[in-house]
């Protein structure tokens, strides 16, 4: 019988994932750190006080997703932080075939890990899943980041739908969706974007996410400024929201040239 209180964190080598590892480790969880870069995972691991393990895993590869789900079934974690994901800014017509890895990681891996972990947790009779989406997933679409916005809309919609299914059958398992706006991490550099509103720290984002799960808030938006913007956009015609987003994204592209 497994007596460890495991938390599995994907995308744990930096940013929000690394911060989740630090805060959850301090809270008594045993941590499985999952990401592609072993050296960065080892750096994060060295900063943790409690027990932790590393699993080097490229979630764009189905076989490596299977390796992680096998670990999950064997070790029965009580918490999954489904955080792995990335974005890229630019015109859709200029994207290349390797860019489809974004869909494999942001959508397919998030789906498969949610499904397998949910089945395992329902069988063991407890557990929480936090899917990290984005405030982008709460907007109609995102010109110049069309794929990214679409992937995060998938994660948001899937998570909210599952949450209602679990509520209706009074499942002991809970699922949550974290939708941050700008967060000061290396995601911005990888995605080649600069935000027009100030970001919050990864520490603040994770602290708010953990508090939201404790309060059983299915949808967690950690920035008050972003929450206000999302509320106000409900009163603006959809076409105008899309044009505003397009103008903002286009400005980011121009600023990088």
| Residues forming the active site | 148
d(CA 174, CA 166): 7
Bridge partners (DSSP) listed for residue 194: none
Nearest CA to 34 out of 53, 6, 62, 15 is that of: 53
Reduce the DSSP state of residue 217 to 3 states and report it. coil
Distance of CA 74 to the CA centre of its chain: 23
**Cα torsion 12, 17, 22, 23: sign:** negative
d(CA 75, CA 71): 6
Task: Please tell me the number of Cα atoms within 13 Å of 252 on its side-chain side.
Answer: 22
d(CA 142, CA 89): 10
């Amino acid at each position: 019988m497994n007596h460890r209180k495991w938390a599995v964190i994907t995308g744990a080598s930096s940013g929000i994932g690394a911060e989740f590892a630090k805060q959850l480790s301090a809270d008594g969880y045993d941590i499985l750190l999952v990401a592609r870069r072993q050296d960065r995972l080892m750096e994060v691991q060295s900063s943790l006080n409690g027990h932790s393990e590393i699993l080097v895993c490229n979630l764009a590869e189905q076989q490596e997703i299977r390796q992680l789900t096998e670990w999950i079934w064997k070790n029965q974690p009580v918490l999954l932080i489904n955080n792995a994901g990335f974005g890229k800014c630019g015109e859709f017509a200029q994207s290349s075939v390797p860019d489809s890895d974004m869909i494999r990681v942001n959508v397919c891996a998030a789906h498969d890990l949610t499904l397998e972990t949910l089945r395992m947790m329902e069988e063991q009779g407890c557990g929480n899943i936090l899917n990290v989406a984005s405030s982008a997933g709460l907007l109609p679409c995102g010109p110049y980041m069309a794929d990214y916005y679409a992937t995060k809309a998938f994660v948001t919609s899937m998570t909210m739908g599952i949450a209602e299914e679990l509520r209706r059958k009074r499942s002991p398992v809970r699922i949550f969706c974290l939708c941050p706006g700008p967060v000061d991490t290396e995601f911005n550099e990888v995605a080649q974007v600069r935000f027009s509103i100030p970001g919050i720290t990864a520490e603040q984002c994770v602290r708010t996410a953990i508090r939201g799960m404790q309060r059983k808030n299915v949808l967690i938006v950690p920035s008050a400024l972003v929450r206000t913007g999302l509320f106000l956009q409900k009163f603006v015609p959809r076409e105008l929201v899309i044009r505003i987003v397009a103008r903002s994204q286009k400005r980011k592209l121009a600023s990088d040239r």
